[in-house]
């Protein structure tokens, strides 16, 4: 594969971006000999000089702006250069009303003002990003918007019994509010027995007022006060921890009783003796239960195990059942592991232990894996959650002493991230299918928290398609991957059928994926393909997502762009939207359904038959949105059979109810695959 070696361009400003990429060593171009024709002569591309042809320069009026809620503010941006750049502010996702005023000062300055009216607290920490772009490329600069507003208490819950008892709260305010607690009109002085635990994220304070072993003495009203220099707010909740013990009713001796002291003494002796016997009996039963009761492989007993911060801590695990006896707690069922301030039900390795309950509403059983059984080998990537590693895991299979796995770590252990971790673990545990990446369980004894998945040897499908396509050399940073040639029709159909099978299963579970794409599928031995996402794709394939906040450029992801193209723009908030895979109703109304996943599957087919090109690679994100909402669809790939393109068109019907059913799609692809035998030697 020669890539662009020896290619001769016409010297001019429109190929200046290729020259810059070669100078920066991007896409492997620094290893290739590129030329351009200047009149009758041919010169090396890196020697080309074009007058008045450079990246635009950009400057903004502030690095950050501090405003009060409901105020107005104006910021400005200047873009200069030759050719004269287009300059604009990205304000998608901005809640405040805004206007733009643009002025051009010839020959080479383009200025634009952005005015915000009645600024909303929801725009606190928003990045106002200005972009300057010409034919050579794009530059950007951002201003952080800091919006001050008085505190508000969004949530104050009644006490909830966990390991410790917790009054959970959520407070919002900027600057960060100061919190104080009051009990019986007196401020609570915090100590080891009553204390506040909380996390601050942007302008949210989330946490708990925790109590260690509270009693009826602690019953009463608890008032939370939140204040900053803009105001103070309070909210009260009643905390009920234990019932007060019944008072003993004094007995008045009658005249007949006064003459029988010996009988009274005898009665008291009998009562004391019976009470002592009952205590001894209960103690014996307790010892027997602890000695012969249910015990897990690793010595963890009881319905709740609270993990200490140290892996080999000498302190024993503490177990709590809050005095509740149900069929679940009586059965030798799952333990529950407390992660920070959230309890996750977990179960020991089902390969070794019988489990099962007859409860009407069984909890999701998330398998618990010991940290000492996980040996990290090397880093595979990094995503929104944290880093992903290749690892060896012991005691995971009854037939293997150890096996390779992929582990995803949680890099930010705040309360919100832990809740997301819990939700994802419970969700993945419920998804069991041959074409869904297998989730083995979690490791929560210490930080960081870890999820354990099966390891798919050949990585994500998008990279695999590019490595086995006609442009493999240039699309893998100039480094050829060992392969046995390009994928053929039979292999492509085999890949598509497996993804359709996984989608059919997801649909049967009433699960909407929302981000189906080849980057979120993984490839194993024997061309085995599974749907799965370690959260890495949003970082590795940032150009595939439309997000609010900043701008980013990409490499040659997707193929044959003839000029510099802005492949990823960020436009406010925190949601990253894969708009190139989304149907009109998802883009315009944020409506996601099984039918929107079918639309995405049509785009996956297009990716497969273009060897992993980016959909609409020749267009910027705003142009893609315009095309999709106006009813345009992707062209038929050059090597795609008409029957497969008909499936794509059936997936891309504008009305969701008119799209093909994934069950029918899977049947058609399976039949086409049977008519075209699959040769699996593509993997060696």
DSSP class of residue 541 equals T
Round the average pLDDT of the chain to a whole number and report it.
Answer: 77
Model confidence band, residue 104 (pLDDT cutoffs 50, 70, 90): confident
Phi, psi of 276 (to 5 degrees): -65, -45
Least confident of 88-97, 149-158, 565-574, 674-683: 565-574
Number of other residues whose CB lies within 10 A of the CB of residue 88: 18
Neighbouring residues of 275: CB distance < 8 A, sequence distance ≥ 6? none
Number of other residues whose CB lies within 10 A of the CB of residue 332: 13
pLDDT at 603: 98
Is 454 assigned a ligand-binding role in the annotation? yes
pLDDT at 299: 33
Q: How far is it, in rounded angstroms, from Cα 48 to Cα 444?
A: 57
Instruction: Choose between 324 and 233: higher pLDDT.
Output: 233
CA-closest candidate to residue 149, choices 72, 235, 70: 70
Three-state secondary-structure class, residue 580: helix
Model confidence band, residue 577 (pLDDT cutoffs 50, 70, 90): confident
426, 435 contact by CB (below 8 A) = no
pLDDT at 499: 97
Note the pLDDT tens digit of each residue in 385-430. Answer: 778 899 999 988 888 888 999 999 887 777 777 888 888 888 888 8
Place of tokens 């075209």: 676
Highest mean pLDDT among 260-269, 326-335, 352-361, 484-493: 484-493
Q: Is 549's pLDDT higher than 60?
A: no
Is 457 assigned a ligand-binding role in the annotation? yes
For range 602-618, the mean pLDDT? 95
Is 158 assigned a ligand-binding role in the annotation? no
Q: Is 649's pLDDT higher than 60?
A: yes
Q: Is 529's pLDDT higher than 60?
A: yes
Note the pLDDT tens digit of each residue in 37-68. Answer: 888 888 888 778 777 888 899 999 999 999 99
Using CA atoms, how far residue 107 sits from 27, 80, 84, 85, in Å, is 34, 9, 7, 11
Residue 43 half-sphere exposure toward CB, CA atoms < 13 A = 14
Q: What is the bridge-based pairing of β-strands 335-339 and 304-306?
A: parallel
Q: What is the bridge-based pairing of β-strands 137-156 and 86-90?
A: unpaired
pLDDT at 648: 96
For range 168-176, the mean pLDDT? 95
Least confident of 103-112, 297-306, 428-437, 643-652: 297-306
Instruction: Choose between 139 and 683: higher pLDDT.
Output: 139
* The pair of three-digit structure tokens given for residue 514, joined into one six-digit string: 């929302």
For range 106-120, the mean pLDDT? 89
Is 392 assigned a ligand-binding role in the annotation? no
Is 291 assigned a ligand-binding role in the annotation? no
Using CA atoms, how far residue 520 sits from 490, 500, 531, in Å, is 22, 14, 6
Least confident of 186-195, 332-341, 647-656: 332-341
Residue 102 half-sphere exposure toward CB, CA atoms < 13 A = 12
pLDDT at 269: 56
428, 451 contact by CB (below 8 A) = yes
Residues of the chain above pLDDT 90, percent: 40
Three-state secondary-structure class, residue 335: strand
Model confidence band, residue 257 (pLDDT cutoffs 50, 70, 90): very low
Strand partners, 546: 577
Is 383 assigned a ligand-binding role in the annotation? yes
Is 502 assigned a ligand-binding role in the annotation? no
Is 519 assigned a ligand-binding role in the annotation? yes
Q: Is 120's pLDDT higher than 90?
A: yes
Model confidence band, residue 273 (pLDDT cutoffs 50, 70, 90): low
The residues annotated with a catalytic role in the active site are: 515
pLDDT at 541: 58
For range 601-616, the mean pLDDT? 96
683, 528 contact by CB (below 8 A) = no
Q: Is 364's pLDDT higher than 60?
A: no
Is 229 assigned a ligand-binding role in the annotation? no
Q: How many helices (H) and strands (E) does the chain have?
A: 13, 33
Looking at the whole model, is its pTM more than 0.85? no
Note the pLDDT tens digit of each residue in 147-158. Answer: 999 999 999 999
Least confident of 372-381, 527-536, 577-586: 527-536
Note the pLDDT tens digit of each residue in 468-489. Answer: 988 776 544 444 444 457 889 9
pLDDT at 259: 45
Model confidence band, residue 561 (pLDDT cutoffs 50, 70, 90): very low
Note the pLDDT tens digit of each residue in 275-326. Answer: 666 666 766 666 555 544 433 333 333 333 333 333 333 222 222 333 333 3
pLDDT at 585: 93
pLDDT at 137: 86
Residue 307 half-sphere exposure toward CB, CA atoms < 13 A = 28
For range 534-539, the mean pLDDT? 47
Q: Is 567's pLDDT higher than 50?
A: no
């Amino acid at each position: 594969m020669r890539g662009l070696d020896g290619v001769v361009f016409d010297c001019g400003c429109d190929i200046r971006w290729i020259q810059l990429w070669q100078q920066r060593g991007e896409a492997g171009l620094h290893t290739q000999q590129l030329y351009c024709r200047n009149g009758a002569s041919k010169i090396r591309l890196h020697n080309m000089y074009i007058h008045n042809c450079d990246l635009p320069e950009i400057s903004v009026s502030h690095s950050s702006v501090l405003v009060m809620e409901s105020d107005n503010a104006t910021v400005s941006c200047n873009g200069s250069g030759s050719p004269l750049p287009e300059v604009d502010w990205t304000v998608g996702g901005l809640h405040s009303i805004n206007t733009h005023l643009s002025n051009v000062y010839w020959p080479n300055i383009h200025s634009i003002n952005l005015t915000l009216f009645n600024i909303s607290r929801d725009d606190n920490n928003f990045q106002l990003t200005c972009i300057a772009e010409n034919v050579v490329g794009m530059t950007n600069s951002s201003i952080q918007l800091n919006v001050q507003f008085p505190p508000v208490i969004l949530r104050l819950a009644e006490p909830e019994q966990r390991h410790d008892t917790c009054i959970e709260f959520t407070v919002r305010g900027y600057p960060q509010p100061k919190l104080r607690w009051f009990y019986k009109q007196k401020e609570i002085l915090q100590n080891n027995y009553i204390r506040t635990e909380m996390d601050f994220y942007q302008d949210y304070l989330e946490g708990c007022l925790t109590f260690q072993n509270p009693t009826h003495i602690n019953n009463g009203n608890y008032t939370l006060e939140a204040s900053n220099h803009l105001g103070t707010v309070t909210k009260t909740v009643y905390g009920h921890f234990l019932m007060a013990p019944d008072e003993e009713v004094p007995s008045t001796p009658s005249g007949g009783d006064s003459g029988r002291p010996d009988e009274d003494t005898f009665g008291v002796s009998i009562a004391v003796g019976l009470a002592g016997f009952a205590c001894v009996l209960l103690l014996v039963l307790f010892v027997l239960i602890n000695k012969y009761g249910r015990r897990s492989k690793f010595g963890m007993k009881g319905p709740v195990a609270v993990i200490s911060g140290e892996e080999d801590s000498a302190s024993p695990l503490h177990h709590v059942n809050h005095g509740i006896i149900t069929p679940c707690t009586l059965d030798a069922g799952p333990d529950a592991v407390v992660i920070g301030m959230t309890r996750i039900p977990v179960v020991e390795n089902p390969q070794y232990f019988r489990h099962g309950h007859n409860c009407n509403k069984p909890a999701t059983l998330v398998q618990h894996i010991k940290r000492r059984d996980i040996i990290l080998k090397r880093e595979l990537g990094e995503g929104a959650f944290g880093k992903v590693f290749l690892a060896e895991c012991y005691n995971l299979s009854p037939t293997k002493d150890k096996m390779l796995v992929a582990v995803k770590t949680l890099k930010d252990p705040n309360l919100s991230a832990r809740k997301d971790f819990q939700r994802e673990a419970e969700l993945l545990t419920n998804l069991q299918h041959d074409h869904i990446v297998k989730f083995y369980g979690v490791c929560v004894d210490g930080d960081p928290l870890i999820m354990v998945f099966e390891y798919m040897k050949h990585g994500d499908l998008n990279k695999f398609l590019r490595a086995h396509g006609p442009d493999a050399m240039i699309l893998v940073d100039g480094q050829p991957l060992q392969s046995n040639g390009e994928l053929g029709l039979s292999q492509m159909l085999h890949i598509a059928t497996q993804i359709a099978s996984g989608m059919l299963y997801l649909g049967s579970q009433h699960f909407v994926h929302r981000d189906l794409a080849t980057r979120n599928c993984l490839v194993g031995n024997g061309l085995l393909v599974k749907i799965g996402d370690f959260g890495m794709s949003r970082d590795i394939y940032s150009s595939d997502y439309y997000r609010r906040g900043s701008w980013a450029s990409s490499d040659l992801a997707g193929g044959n762009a003839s000029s510099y193209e802005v492949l990823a723009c960020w436009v406010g908030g925190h949601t990253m939207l894969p708009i190139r895979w989304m149907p009109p109703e998802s883009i315009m109304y944020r409506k996601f359904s099984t039918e929107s996943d079918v639309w995405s599957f049509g785009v996956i087919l297009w990716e497969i038959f273009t060897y992993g090109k980016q959909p609409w690679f020749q267009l910027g994100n705003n142009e893609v949105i315009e095309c999709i909402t106006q009813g345009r669809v992707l062209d038929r790939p050059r090597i795609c059979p008409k029957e497969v393109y008909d499936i794509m068109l059936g997936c891309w019907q504008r009305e969701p109810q008119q799209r093909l059913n994934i069950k029918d799609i899977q049947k058609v692809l399976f039949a086409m695959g049977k008519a075209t035998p699959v040769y699996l030697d593509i993997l060696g």
